[in-house]
Amino acid sequence: MTAALEASRLGKRYGGKWALSDCSLSIPTGRVVGLVGPNGAGKSTLLHLAVGLLAPSAGTISVLGARPGSGPEALARVGFLAQDSPTYDRLTVAAHLQMGRWLNPAWDDEFASSRISELELDVRQRAGTLSGGQRAQLALTLAVAKRPELLLLDEPVASLDPLARREFLSTLMEIVASRQVSVVLSSHLIADLERVCDYLVLLVSGRVAVSGDVDSLLASHRRLSGPRRDPSTMPGNLMVIEASHAVRQSTIVVRTDGPIIDPAWTVTPLTLDDLVLAYMRQARDGAGAPVSRLAMAP
């Protein structure tokens, strides 16, 4: 099966600055992928590369087995919702649907019309007068009605108020449930993604810090607390992600495939939030170095 998105040593440079560097990852199809990272981590850059708005400066990227933006066929298979849901302020909702109909051979008119009536949008209203939430819903409708196999959403809820945010995400979940579509959505807030994503990609400073199935990530990470201890003396099957020390106690986040048998540790599971924060701190303190126990030596 081809991957939804496959990147190999992918890099993008703006002027002299690398927004994304040495990024390798493979995202399977049929998932709802949360692309998480702090502001400026390269999330938008990665998504723009995936939809062909940008061309890579280094490495390769393929989406559904094709080079992004290589032609109408590649464009037809990917739906994209850009940050802040751009729409034409002076065109009406109806004109936007007309645009979708004209510019996409696989356009699903029935879906688009029913979405618009469910949203109770007046088709004669100009997009410039819609609220942020309505505009995001309109843009999502346009992106989905072209019948893409992969839907890329760039910070879709970042500028929405909590209610609009909740409504947008529940719309998205309905769409995922009813249509055969893989989704990648980015956010700098893990809370937005926790309820909808089953796959996580964490980008920090233009590199992939961790990626994988959410359930297996949660199952393989543990927080250990116990008497103060040098993390470099931990057993080899435990990969130390983060360690913090009080006077007599150490708290260590580890990744492991097996059970933890040392009775000195109190073992607690991590939430997705904890896990992301641990990797973000690791990436920051390790100055972008790959996961290594040396980097964690006190």
Cα distance between residue 289 and residue 211, in whole Å: 16
Which of residues 103 and 289 has its CB atom nearest to other proteins in the complex? 103
Pick the piece of the chain touching other proteins (CB under 8 A) from 3-11, 135-143, 180-188, 266-274: 135-143
Near other proteins by CB under 8 A: residue from 99, 239, 267, 291: 99
Q: Which of residues 246-285 bind other proteins (CB under 8 A)?
A: none
Q: Which residues of 22-37 are buried (b: 16+ CB within 10 A; e: fewer)?
A: bbebebeeebbbbbbb
Instruction: Decide if residue 124 touches other proteins (CB under 8 A).
Output: no
Near other proteins by CB under 8 A: residue from 11, 34, 42, 100: 100
Pairing, β 150-153 against β 78-81: parallel
Residue found under tokens 């502001």: 39
Per-residue three-class SS string for 196-236 = CCCEEEEEECCEEEEEEEHHHHHHHEEEEEEECCCHHHCCC
Q: How many residues comprise the chain? A: 298
Q: Answer whether 100's CB lies under 8 Å from 112's CB.
A: yes
Instruction: Decide if residue 129 touches other proteins (CB under 8 A).
Output: no
Near other proteins by CB under 8 A: residue from 89, 122, 161, 285: 89
Contact mark string toward other proteins, 32..71, x via CB under 8 A = ----------------x--xxxxx-------------x-x
| E-assigned strand segments in the chain | 5-14, 17-27, 32-36, 58-63, 78-81, 150-153, 182-187, 199-204, 207-213, 221-227, 239-245, 249-255, 266-269
Closest by Cα among 147, 153, 142, 139 to 98: 142
Instruction: Decide if residue 90 touches other proteins (CB under 8 A).
Output: yes
Query: Phi first, then psi: what are they for 254, rounded to 5°?
Result: -125, 160
Cα distance between residue 76 and residue 281, in whole Å: 39
Shortest Cβ distance from residue 243 to other proteins (Å)? 40
Cα distance between residue 90 and residue 96, in whole Å: 10
Q: Which of residues 144-173 bind other proteins (CB under 8 A)?
A: 146
Instruction: Decide if residue 98 touches other proteins (CB under 8 A).
Output: yes
Instruction: Decide if residue 95 touches other proteins (CB under 8 A).
Output: yes
Which of residues 168 and 265 has its CB atom nearest to other proteins in the complex? 168
Pick the piece of the chain touching other proteins (CB under 8 A) from 73-81, 183-191, 264-272, 286-294: 73-81
Instruction: Decide if residue 94 touches other proteins (CB under 8 A).
Output: no
Instruction: Decide if residue 75 touches other proteins (CB under 8 A).
Output: yes
Positions touching other proteins (CB under 8 A) are: 14, 48, 51-55, 69, 71-72, 75-76, 78-80, 82, 84, 86-91, 95, 98-100, 102-106, 139, 142-143, 146
